[in-house]
Amino acid sequence: MSTKQPFEKVVAEHGRTVLRVCRALLASHDADDAWSETFLSALRGYPELPATANVEAWLVTIAHRKAIDVLRSRKRQPVPVEEVTEAPATHGVPDADDADDGLWHAVRALPGRQRQAVAYHYVAGLPYAEIAQIIGGSTDAARRAAADGISNLRKNYPGGGPS
Amino acid sequence: MNSPEELFATPTDTNADTDALARLHRKLEQAAEEEGLLDVAYRTVDSPVGPLLLAATARGLVRVAYDVEGHDRVLDTLASRLSPRVLRAPKRLDPAAQELEEYFDGRRRRFDLPLDLSLSKGFRLLVQQHLPEIGYAQTRSYRQVAELVGNPKAVRAVGTACATNPLPVVLPCHRVLRTDGTRGDYVGGPAAKTTLLNLEAAA
For the segment B94-111, what is each residue's pLDDT rounded down to a tens digit?
A: 999 999 999 999 999 999
Structural domain includes residue A1: no
Residue A91 has pLDDT above 70, yes or no: no
CA distance A69 to A56: 20
CB contact under 8 A, B37 and A44: yes
Question: Given this model, what pLDDT does residue B1 score?
Answer: 61
pLDDT band at B151 (very low <50, low <70, confident <90, very high): very high
Buried b (16+ CB within 10 A) or exposed e, A118-134: bbbbbbbebebebbbeb
Structural domain includes residue A30: yes
- What rounded mean pLDDT belongs to chain A? 85
CA distance A118 to A114: 6
Structural domain includes residue B89: yes
Residue B200 has pLDDT above 50, yes or no: yes
Domain CATH for B148:
1.10.10.10
Contact B169, B66 (CB under 8 A): no
pLDDT band at A99 (very low <50, low <70, confident <90, very high): low
Number of domains in chain A: 1
Q: Are residues B91 and B145 in the same domain?
A: no
Q: What angle do CA A3, B66, B62 make, to 5 degrees?
A: 60
Structural domain includes residue A141: yes
- The 3-state DSSP class for residue B41 equals strand
The residue range of the domain holding B190 is: 122-202
Residue A92 has pLDDT above 60, yes or no: no
CA distance A90 to A74: 19
Structural domain includes residue B28: yes
Structural domain includes residue A50: yes
Mean pLDDT for the stretch of residues A133-158: 93
Q: Which residues in chain A have Cβ-Cβ distances shorter than 8 Å to B2?
A: 159-161
Of B77, B104, B131, the residue at which a domain comes to its end is: B104
Percent of chain B residues topping a pLDDT of 90: 87
Q: Which residues on chain A place their C-beta less than 8 Å from a C-beta of chain B?
A: 3-8, 11, 15-17, 19-20, 32, 35-36, 39-40, 43-44, 46-47, 93-97, 99-100, 103, 118, 122-123, 150, 153-154, 159-162
Q: Are residues B134 and B178 in the same domain?
A: yes
Question: Given this model, what pLDDT does residue A102 score?
Answer: 81
Structural domain includes residue B4: no
Q: Are residues B19 and B97 in the same domain?
A: yes
Question: Given this model, what pLDDT does residue B17 score?
Answer: 85
Q: Which of A144-158, B28-42, B163-177 has the lowest mean pLDDT?
A: A144-158
Q: Which residues in chain B have Cβ-Cβ distances shorter than 8 Å to A15?
A: 21, 24-25
ipTM for this prediction: 0.92
Amino acid (1-letter code) at residue B176? V
Q: Are residues B97 and B20 in the same domain?
A: yes
Structural domain includes residue A2: no
pTM: 0.88
Q: Are residues B172 and B98 in the same domain?
A: no
Question: Given this model, what pLDDT does residue A87 score?
Answer: 42
Domain CATH for A138:
1.20.140
pLDDT band at A83 (very low <50, low <70, confident <90, very high): very low
Residue B51 has pLDDT above 60, yes or no: yes
Q: Are residues B142 and B178 in the same domain?
A: yes
Of B76, B104, B132, the residue at which a domain comes to its end is: B104
CA distance B130 to B172: 10
pLDDT band at B13 (very low <50, low <70, confident <90, very high): low
Question: Given this model, what pLDDT does residue B11 score?
Answer: 65
CA distance A28 to A30: 5
- What rounded mean pLDDT belongs to chain B? 94
Structural domain includes residue B45: yes
The residue range of the domain holding A51 is: 7-160
Contact A148, A113 (CB under 8 A): no
B176-177 and B140-141 as β-strands: parallel, antiparallel, unpaired? parallel
Structural domain includes residue A149: yes
Residue A21 has pLDDT above 60, yes or no: yes
- The 3-state DSSP class for residue A62 equals helix
**What single DSSP character describes residue A27?**
-
Q: Which residues in chain A have Cβ-Cβ distances shorter than 8 Å to B79?
A: 3-7
Q: Are residues B21 and B98 in the same domain?
A: yes
Number of domains in chain B: 2
Give yes or no for B3 touching A (CB within 8 A).
Answer: no
Q: Are residues B130 and B192 in the same domain?
A: yes
CA distance B73 to B70: 5
Three-state DSSP string of B164-195: CCCCCCCCCHHHEECCCCCCCCCCCCHHHHHH
Q: Are residues B92 and B134 in the same domain?
A: no
* CA-to-CA dists, residue B129 to A155, B90, B114, B141, B146, angstroms: 70, 26, 13, 16, 13
Structural domain includes residue B117: no
Q: Which of A72-81, B10-19, B138-147 has the lowest mean pLDDT?
A: A72-81
Structural domain includes residue A45: yes
Q: Looking at per-residue confidence, does B9 or B10 come out higher?
A: B9
Q: Nearest-CA neighbor of A55 among B84, B29, B24?
A: B84
Mean pLDDT for the stretch of residues A140-148: 97
Structural domain includes residue A111: yes
Of B69, B104, B139, the residue at which a domain comes to its end is: B104
Q: Are residues B94 and B22 in the same domain?
A: yes
Residue A29 has pLDDT above 70, yes or no: yes
